[in-house]
Each structure stands twice: as C-alpha cells, then as structure tokens.
Amino acid sequence: MASGFFAILDDIAALMDDVAVTAKLATQKTAGILGDDLAVNAEKATGFLESREIPVLMKIMKGSFVNKLIIVPAVFLLEWLYEPAITIILIFGGFYLAYEGIEKIIEYLFHRNKKGKEVIDEASETTESGTDLEKSKIKSAVTTDFILSLEIVIIALASAKVGYEALKSQFNPFLVEVVTVSIVAIIATIGVYGIVALIVRMDDAGYKLIKKSSTEKGPLVSLGNFLVNALPWVIKGLGVVGTIALILVAGGIFVHNIEWMHHHFLPNLNSIIKEALAGIIGGLIALPIFKLGSKAFSLIKK
C-alpha cells in the first residue's frame, strides 16, 4: 500500500518536472503578449477616484479569471472539434483590438478643446452617471482582456505541444498541455494585475514614505516625491504604450494567422513595422463597422 502511494508521488513529481519545462517555454513565448497585456490593462485601470482604483482593479481581475475559466476549456474543446475555429475567433478578436487602438488615436488627433459650458455639462453628466461610466470601463477592460487572454492561452498551448515533443514525456500529451496552459493562465492573471495594482498605488506609497521621514529632506522624502510626481507620467506613458500594444497585438494576430498577410503582405518589411501597418489597416476597416454596429444596437435597445 505504501509503495503504491510513493509510486503515485513519483508520478506526480515526474509530471510536474515535465510541466515545469513546458510552462517555462510557454511563459517565454507569451512574454511579449504579457507585456502588452500589462500596458493595456494598466491604462484601462486608471482614471478612477483614488478610493475606487483597487476595487475596480479587483473587478477587472475577477473578470480576467472568469475569462480564462471560459477560454481554457473552450480552446481544448474547439481544438478537438474543429481546430481552424480557434484561428477564426482569434482574427475577429484582432479586429476588436485594432478598433480600440485606432479609436484612441483618432480621438487624440481630432480631439476638440471644449468650451466652458460644454465642460460644465460634461462634468454634470459624469457626476450623475459615474457608476455607469465605471461599469462601462470595467466591461471594456474585461472584453479586451478576453481577447488578449485568448491569444495567451493559444500561444501557451502551441508552446506546450512543442515542449512535449521535445521532452518525449511518458505522460498523456493532453494532461501535460492542460496543466501547462492552466499554470500559465494563473501566472498571467496574478502577475499582470499585481503589477498594475503596484503602479496605480505609486502615489500612496510615495506619500507614506514622505510621512515616515522625520525630516523635510532625505532619501525617503526624495523617493516619495519621485513616486508621487512620476505617477502622472507613468499613466500617460502607459496610455501611449497600451494603444501601441493594441495595434501591434492585433497586427501580430493578422500577420501570423492570415496566410496571405504572412507570406505576401510586404514580405521584406521589418516584422514590427509590418504588424503595425496590419493593425492600423485592420483598425481602419473595423472602425466604421463597430461604430455602425454600436449605433444600431443602441437604436434596437431603445
């Protein structure tokens, strides 16, 4: 009986060794997407009242976990039923990301400074519908997270397959793939939103350091002031990086999953520039479609 128990432990240890190798490969392959995910979500998790930042972030993180609970089994099921469906869904998701990125750029380029009365009216509307605006932003963040999570899971699955073949593992490939993808999904969610939480609370950390200092000058005060003053610049920077990330991720989806774009669309161009152009074109195509769809949905809803 004891020997059987230890044999099970040996099997579990061997499985974890194999999973550690495949998970390491998967996290390396998804590192770029995780960076984009961080930039996008940090930008989306800001702009709230200080007292609402962490509660909002927790809601987005909860939505991210739900996304992955849906995506992981769905991807394995689709792979079993009809593998090309994963690529089709990924491409549609790419159009949504490209739309979000292009919409932000157009809004910035064609933004009109509002007159005094317009600012007052807008502020009044924002005060009255603050809860609705918060819900809308959380919904947008969770939707974007769904598409980024889908790509992370698919890349992790592809990496797990490569790692499994290299290992020549004794275990069933499905088991290794499921455990690997699940671990990467958990690490991605906790890691990304943990860093986002640190970013949005930079100013609080700075104020606490300043208060802890017994003098008006010193290393603690200097560091505290730096954190407080750096936060607005970090947020602005993340807004820019997040927008670029949306377009690059979308472009990467198009280039790597649409055969014509992969082989014939500007084949000699630098890969990053190529993906950026693909993302911009995709966003310009998606923009009027999503805008019209949104208006039509609003009319139907009324």
Residue by residue, pLDDT tens for the chain (302 residues) are 455 555 666 666 666 766 777 777 777 666 666 766 676 667 666 666 666 777 888 888 888 889 989 998 988 888 888 878 888 888 888 888 888 889 888 888 886 555 555 545 554 544 445 677 778 878 888 888 888 788 788 878 877 777 766 666 666 777 778 888 888 888 888 888 888 877 777 777 787 878 777 666 777 778 888 877 887 787 778 778 778 888 888 888 888 888 888 777 777 778 888 889 999 999 999 999 888 887 777 777 66
How confident is the model at residue 128, as a pLDDT?
44
Angle of helix 202-212 relative to helix 173-200, nearest 10 degrees, comes to: 50
Q: Which residue has the tokens 């930079």?
A: 202
Alpha-carbon distance 249 to 145, whole Å?
12
What tokens were used for 74? 């769905």
Q: What tokens does 202 get?
A: 């930079």
Beta strands in the chain (DSSP E): none
Contacts of 55 (CB under 8 A, 6+ apart): none
Q: According to the model, what pLDDT value does residue 5 have?
A: 55
pLDDT digits (tens, 9 = 90+) for 83-109: 788 888 888 888 888 888 898 888 888
Output DSSP code: residue 269.
S
Inter-residue long-range contacts of 265-272, CB under 8 Å, 24+ positions, other chains counted: 272/248
Q: What is the pLDDT of residue 129?
A: 54
Contact 45, 56 (CB under 8 A): yes
Q: Which residues of 285-294 are buried (b: 16+ CB within 10 A; e: fewer)?
A: ebbeebeeee
Closest by Cα among 299, 296, 286 to 247 = 286
pLDDT at residue 12, as a whole number: 66
The CA-CA-CA angle for residues 208, 214, 216, to 5°, reads 85
| Three-state DSSP state, 166 | helix
Token readout for 45 is 């998790």
